[in-house]
Structure 1
């Protein structure tokens, strides 16, 4: 249970770190989660529509529109029409938002990377496996709680 308790403590600390970022930048915690979801999708080479973003965050259509409008007004995201299908509008993170995030989260990310350099390939595989399993368990729990797949 010690590892579970440490994971919980890390989760709480990271949540507080994210909340400080949101507060300092006049954002709602959901705004930060949205930016993270959009950056993760971009890193995976995926375009994200407002509907997909809302589904990922558990928001209804009106809440998603308000979220994207708020982030767009703040200059954190842009709505972009698809080159292939002009009816399709995706949401992308503006580079200024990425830079703002790196100012706050960069030192912590650097620290995490430095810590990981201390592990060999087998240990990194174990860490990756544990974190992947925990993420999947949390996603399954969320899906069961919301009745979504």
Structure 2
């Protein structure tokens, strides 16, 4: 894990692949809880029997937005940003889903610092995110995540 204490330390990481999170298994319980939270109970996510019979993946798959929602959790396994009074998930850009995450797949986040800018005291960081699936050559998604930080 890297530790970032201020703008200057963040700026030094610009252009670098800074790390990879631990593997996280997405199980059916997590998929079902996400479906409940988002009111998205499409059968391809929640009906294990039907998915096994009718889905081209022969199993349920995680919601794309579930996999995106893991970014803050996985990012905190890669970097600890200290001395901040506030951190804001500011946005996502250029995201593309490369392949679905099947139930019980293990995923991890690989992060690259694309840019770091001081906007009059607010630090805007663009992190390139790739969600890797264990034993798969193609990532689940790629794109950029934007964070805003207010350092103390």
Structure 1 length as normaliser, TM-score?
Answer: 0.22
**Which one has a larger percent helix, Structure 1 or Structure 2?**
1
**Which one has a larger percent strand, Structure 1 or Structure 2?**
2
Structure 2 length as normaliser, TM-score?
Answer: 0.21
